[in-house]
């Protein structure tokens, strides 16, 4: 079967750095998305990785290792507004998204 694993909840301090991990087992791989979702709102796009390595975009970076079936989202200089759920999703061989359950990130002052 297809499976995406990510931690259910994480807590971090304002101004710090946090890494949210995602491991996957899917039928085929055509890329991995990270989305941010605030309560009551639709997800918003953060990153898309299809090649191995680290991609940096401002305070957010995303890393992918296809051989390990592993990705992480790195958030730097955390702000209170970063409190949200972070969703990992893999594009499978049929170009369908396989979703993780999401990681709820709680930022404390």
Partner 1 sequence: GAVVSQHPSWVICKSGTSVKIECRSLDFQATTMFWYRQFPKQSLMLMATSNEGSKATYEQGVEKDKFLINHASLTLSTLTVTSAHPEDSSFYICSAPRLALDSYEQYFGPGTRLTVT
Residues engaged in binding partner 1 (CB under 8 A): 30-31, 33, 35, 40-45, 48, 50, 87, 89, 91, 95-97, 99-102
Reduced to 3 states, what is the DSSP secondary structure of residue 82? helix
**Residue 16 CB, nearest approach to partner 1 (Å):** 25
Phi–psi pair at 68, nearest 5 degrees: -95, -5
Q: With respect to partner 1, which residue has the nearer C-beta, 69 or 102?
A: 102
Reduced to 3 states, what is the DSSP secondary structure of residue 12? strand
Q: With respect to partner 1, which residue has the nearer C-beta, 8 or 67?
A: 8
Which residue matches tokens 């989202």? 73
């Amino acid at each position: 079967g297809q499976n995406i694993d990510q931690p259910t909840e994480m807590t971090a301090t304002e101004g710090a750095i946090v890494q949210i991990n995602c491991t996957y087992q899917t039928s085929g791989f055509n890329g991995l998305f990270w989305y941010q979702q605030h309560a009551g709102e639709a997800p918003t796009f953060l990153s898309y990785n299809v090649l191995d390595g680290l991609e940096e975009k401002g305070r957010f970076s995303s890393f992918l290792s296809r051989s390990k079936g592993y990705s992480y989202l790195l958030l730097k200089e955390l702000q209170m507004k970063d409190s949200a759920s972070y969703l990992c999703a893999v594009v499978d061989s049929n170009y369908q998204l396989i979703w993780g359950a999401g990681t709820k990130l709680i930022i404390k002052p």
